[in-house]
Structure 1
Amino acid sequence: MAIDPTHRGIYSAMDMDIREGGEIEAFYAGHQEPIADPIDWINAPPLPQNVLLTSVDKIINWSRRSSVWPVTFGLACCAIEMMCTAASRFDLARFGMEIFRASPRQADLMIVAGTLTWKMAPWLRRIYDQMPEPKWVLAMGACGTSGGIFKGSYSVLPGFNKVVPIDVYVPGCPPRPEALIKAVTDIHDKIEKMHPTRKAGE
């Protein structure tokens, strides 16, 4: 379609020039001072007081420690104490753990709370394998440590370490919420000692 050279817009050429000139004059009036050299920002008094120097490892470990998401894996009576720990009285959310995930692909901590039978063991291992690295496992209760009162039973595992690697054991039958919180802080300590930017063997 051909352009009609005689077509007039909303504004006349004179109005357009006046409008653009006004915008340029306003921009010019507000930009007379030069922007400071970045070296001046660094040497300014507020900046040195508000800058922290650290390593990449420290930042990564801090972010991991502050946002550990557990996968829900309550098997027996210890799960009641785990739920109590997540409730308002003990407030596990203080440690960035208020989100118990139903999907292992969104979790990095498995709290296995209760009695694990051989029939359930393959599913525990499957959920563990689906969790992304890095991941940690917390065995809660006497059953997780040694089989507890069911030790010697044909149907119960004598410890979760037969199926998955355990990072922290929480003794008790069942352990109190304070014991679980202490175990969570032990997991945090392990995370703080990691070196995520180094290759294995360095």
Structure 2
Amino acid sequence: MSDSSNIKQVAPPEGYAGEGFFATKLSEVVGLARANSMWPLPFATSCCGIEYMATMAATYDIGRFGSERMSFSPRQADMLLVMGTIAKKMAPILRQVYEQMAEPKWVIAVGACASTGGVFDTYSVLQGIDKVIPVDVYVPGCPPRPEQILDGILELQNIVKNESVRRRSSDEYKDLLNSYNIK
């Protein structure tokens, strides 16, 4: 056995005593937490909503990605999934739902109808929800398969994880929101 009195103890740097520390940027920790605990608000009007139901079920299990808690109140959600055809008369309601969400908030346009109006190129159908609210991720398809919806959620998680904590409060972003006025 060796004599323990010969071992020299090295003290941690000043201010770092205790259990230890982990060095990283605050924005990275916040981004990781936000990305893995998103609360979705489904705004489904047609067949894409049915595919989203399959995405929530056991086979695809959206809960694996931190989105298990569905929110049916915009005030408690941070991810809005718009699925299906949006009539022009529904546009102000969609905008109001978006505005009721607390910051930070993100939007996924699921399917061809939400993204571009789909096959409904008529006077009564909104030709893409990006005419009234900003969209972060577009999921193509008519309707998109559950795997595509999950891929869109993973893409949004990547965006959230890497964006700045202050991005949503910038003047640039507020100007973008103001440019989406419905007349």
Structure 2 counterpart of 1:112, from 79, 82, 96: 82
- TM-score under structure 1 length normalisation: 0.72
Residue pair 1:113, 1:140 contacting (<8 A) in 2 also:
yes
Residue 125 of structure 2: aligned partner: 156
1:123-159 Cα offsets, whole Å, 9 max, x none, are 11100000011111100001112111112x1211111
Query: Is the 1:138–1:167 contact (alpha carbons within 8 Å) kept by the matching residues of 2?
Result: yes
Deviation at 1:190, TM superposition (A): 0.8
* Residue matched to 1:175: 144
SS at match of 2:72: coil
| Contiguous gaps of at least 5 residues in structure 1 | 1-37
Amino acid at match of 1:185: L
- TM-score, normalization: structure 2? 0.79
- Give the structure with higher Rg (CA): 1
Kept in 1: contact 2:42–2:83 (CA 8 A): no
8 Å CA contact 2:42–2:81 kept in 1: the answer is yes
| C-alpha RMSD over aligned residues | 2.2
Cα distance in structure 1, aligned partners of 2:117 and 2:107: 17
Q: Give the C-alpha shift of residue 39 in structure 1.
A: 5.4
SS at match of 2:67: coil
Q: Which amino acid aligns with 1:138?
A: I
Q: How many residues are aligned here?
A: 158
Instruction: Report the CA distance between 1:72 and its aligned residue.
Output: 2.3
Query: Is 1:196 the equivalent of 2:179?
Result: no
Seq. identity, %: 44
The reply on whether 1:80 has 2:58 as its aligned counterpart is no
> Structure 1 residues 88, 155: closer, same or farther in 2, change over 3 A?
same
Instruction: Point out which structure has higher relative CO (alpha carbons under 8 A, 6+ apart).
Output: 2
Please list every run of 5 or more consecutive structure 2 residues that lacks an aligned counterpart in the other structure.
1-10, 172-183
Query: How much has 1:196 moved relative to structure 2?
Result: 1.1
Partner in structure 1 of residue 106 of structure 2: 136
